[in-house]
Amino acid sequence: MARPKKIRMWGDTPLPHNLYPDARKRENYWRYCLPDGRYRVFSASLEDALRMAEEANKMRGEKVQRKPTKAPDRASFAFHAIRYIEWRVENDSQLPSKASWQNRCNALKRFGEDFEAISIHKAKLADLRKWWESLSYHQQHARRAEFNKFFNYLMAEGLCKLESNPFTTADDRPRLLEKGKPIKKRQRLTLEAYWTIYEKAGELGYEALQVAMGISMLTTMRRADICELNFDKHLQGDHLRKTINKSEAQRDSLAASHLSFNLKTHQQLGKLINRARELSLRNYRCPYILSHTPKQRRTGKIKEHVCQVIPDRLSDMFTEARNATGLYIGLPKNQTPPSFHEVRSLASDRFKRMGYDVKSVQQLMAHTDERVTQSYQAGHGIDYEEISIYLDEKAIGGSFTDKPQTIKPTG
């Protein structure tokens, strides 16, 4: 006899079958398990999520008649959003390589879907304002620059009849205003909490997370840069060399921050690289410095090797290890626990406490704005900036071993 399914609770409310809380624990986000085993993530209040899940459960097994897709109307935003995207790529071949470009394309396409019933030449500022004000501050901020270019394109083509570009930043014209930036309530990561999470990561079998936390502490690199580190590409003799992604996206390649770390000087960093080599051998010779053998061994567009650790997976590891420590239980609702990015902030503070000047730390964190001289020198090859400042065991309150720990395998 089959065992009855366990009733899952959300507070005092039982959840219907196939409805689960968000894996990232975001407020008012849910997961619904589809018949094929995949999960559909959506945002809704608890009451709406319960209703939607119950309705979906009733329809399981029924064949859904899909309407045949049709090409968007030539007078619609959707049609010209596609043309605009193609035009942008034709005029800037570097766009597809930028991490944010796909997100901008998706935002434009969703905008076209939201305004499917309104032709471009009939769109009014009031219609746009209602949609705009339904977005959060971060959604508005992420869209404004590209939507400003999009509407300039539409107006230059003579398609949009609005008085002015609604996404302009000029105050002398009718435009859409951004919401006020919400106050950050994310907790700072203390040195004591850092080491507690680090040890918990080892207990969970997340040595890749320990290596990443160590590299972030010693170099202040962001998670995307750390996950991209490759033995063949970024280790050159006794040096770890990396072009910082964010600075490269904001400037041209030759004017970006190219950092070099001499592993003989940065001995703690050298220990972590040695440890990563040992892990790579255990993880099917993964070419990336961060490697972890998952339960589901898959590759795809964003994973070249089954043991490669991508940024979102690294964040999930950190969240799991942080929550397992119990350090942040009972936080007020308007505050959130530190994320992996807070390791970078903690590292900056440790450099400051070691007495290093702000300019040296800015160079390390790729925050400097003094790029005029580099623009004159561009075109003569890449010159890596040798990083001379470093943190010793006393500064970070501990030591990173270069020998992998004996751990139990985990997903």
State pLDDT tens for residues 325-349: 999 988 887 788 999 999 998 998 8
Largest Cα–Cα distance in the chain? 77
Q: Is the pTM of this model over 0.85?
A: no
> Residue 184: pLDDT band by 50, 70, 90 thresholds?
low
DSSP letter at 229 equals -
Q: What is the pLDDT of residues 107-164, one digit of tens each?
A: 999 999 999 889 998 999 999 999 999 998 989 999 999 999 999 999 999 998 898 9
What's the whole-number mean pLDDT along residues 40-69? 77
CA–CA separation, 138 and 179 (whole Å): 9
pLDDT at 182: 77
Q: Which of 38-47, 274-283, 314-323, 361-370 has the lowest mean pLDDT?
A: 361-370
Helices (H), 27-122: 46-59, 77-91, 101-114
pLDDT at 87: 95
CA–CA separation, 411 and 401 (whole Å): 23
Closest CA to 404 of 287, 272, 284: 272
Average pLDDT of every residue of the chain: 84
CA–CA separation, 111 and 84 (whole Å): 13
Strands 239-243 and 39-43: unpaired
249 versus 278: which is more confidently predicted? 278
Q: What is the pLDDT of residues 188-200, one digit of tens each?
A: 899 999 999 999 9
Closest CA to 180 of 136, 124, 134, 221: 136
244-275 burial code (b ≥16 CB/10 A, e <16): bbebbeebeebbbbbbebbbeebbbbbbbbbb
- Is the per-residue pLDDT at 319 higher than 50? yes
pLDDT at 361: 82
pLDDT at 164: 92
What's the whole-number mean pLDDT along residues 230-242? 94
Q: Which of 34-38, 173-177, 328-332, 372-376 has the lowest mean pLDDT?
A: 372-376
- Is the per-residue pLDDT at 285 higher than 50? yes
